[in-house]
């Protein structure tokens, strides 16, 4: 069993080694290259994706053909096609590796069946859903209460490592500005220091 899978699931204190072995037997480890798409818009993909190493991004493509980054997912976080997992509908976003990455993929349908017989796995699902919900609410607050400059400053404060790892065009899209606007924001922040 991959050590990084054990480390990932040990962050949930109620999950023991036997539980991790069960989870591991249900999923699959996947190594992906930067630029590789894990989930494509329009497909049904029931996999929860747990990032063990690397960096992913969820993005949509607007009617104008523009990419809009919704989410970055680095080590210790999870993602997936929420529209498929929750509503049995095709994915509304692409999920792409920004860096070479190692992920653990767990089919949500299989996990649901097993969790009904294993209370610790049910608790794990519940904890993950709470985290996803909390992050979604934070993202709404991020967009509705902060200016683009404040968004960038908050990202630099809360996730400085992420800011260094993500290409500028994706950062700009994530905070809702153009790359030119992001360059101006960076200049203003440097001038003010």
Phi first, then psi: give them for residue 117, nearest 5 degrees: -105, -5
pTM: 0.90
Characterise 167 by phi-psi region: left (phi > 0), alpha (psi -120 to 50), beta (else). beta
Q: Check whether 193 has a pLDDT greater than 60.
A: no
Beta bridge partners, 107, equal: 47
Q: Percent of the chain having pLDDT more than 90?
A: 92
pLDDT of residue 122: 92
pLDDT digits (tens, 9 = 90+) for 50-84: 999 999 999 999 999 999 999 999 999 999 999 99
Q: Helical H runs in 88-147? A: 108-115, 119-145
**pLDDT at residue 141, rounded to an integer:** 94
In sign, the C-alpha dihedral spanning 140, 108, 21, 16 is positive
Give the model's pLDDT for residue 2. 83
Question: What are the tens digits of pLDDT across the range 132-185?
Answer: 999 999 999 999 999 999 999 999 999 999 899 999 999 999 999 999 999 999
| Distance from the first to the final alpha carbon of the chain | 48
pLDDT of residue 27: 94
Total residues found in the chain within this entry: 193
Structure confidence at residue 170 (pLDDT): 96
86-111 pLDDT, tens digit per residue, is: 999 999 999 999 999 999 999 999 99
For residue 111, give the nearest of 43, 24, 188, 35 by alpha carbon. 24
User: In 3-state terms, what secondary structure has residue 51?
Assistant: strand
Q: 125 is written with which tokens?
A: 């699902």
């Amino acid at each position: 069993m991959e050590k990084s899978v054990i480390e990932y699931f040990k962050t949930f204190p109620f999950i023991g080694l036997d539980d991790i072995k069960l989870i591991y037997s249900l999923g699959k480890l996947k190594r992906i290259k930067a630029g590789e798409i894990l989930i494509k818009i329009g497909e049904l993909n029931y996999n929860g994706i747990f990032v063990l190493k690397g960096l992913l991004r969820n993005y949509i493509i607007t009617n104008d053909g523009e990419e809009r980054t919704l989410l970055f997912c680095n080590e210790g976080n999870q993602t997936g096609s929420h529209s498929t997992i929750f509503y049995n509908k095709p994915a509304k976003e692409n999920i792409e590796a920004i860096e070479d990455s190692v992920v653990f993929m767990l089919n949500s349908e299989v996990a649901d069946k097993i969790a009904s017989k294993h209370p610790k796995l049910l608790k794990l699902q519940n904890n993950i859903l709470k985290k996803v919900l909390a992050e979604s609410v934070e993202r709404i607050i991020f967009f509705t209460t902060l200016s683009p400059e404040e968004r960038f400053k908050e990202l630099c404060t809360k996730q400085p490592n992420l800011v260094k790892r993500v290409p500028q065009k994706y950062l700009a899209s994530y905070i809702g500005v153009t790359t030119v606007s992001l360059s101006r924001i960076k200049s203003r922040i440097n001038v003010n220091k």
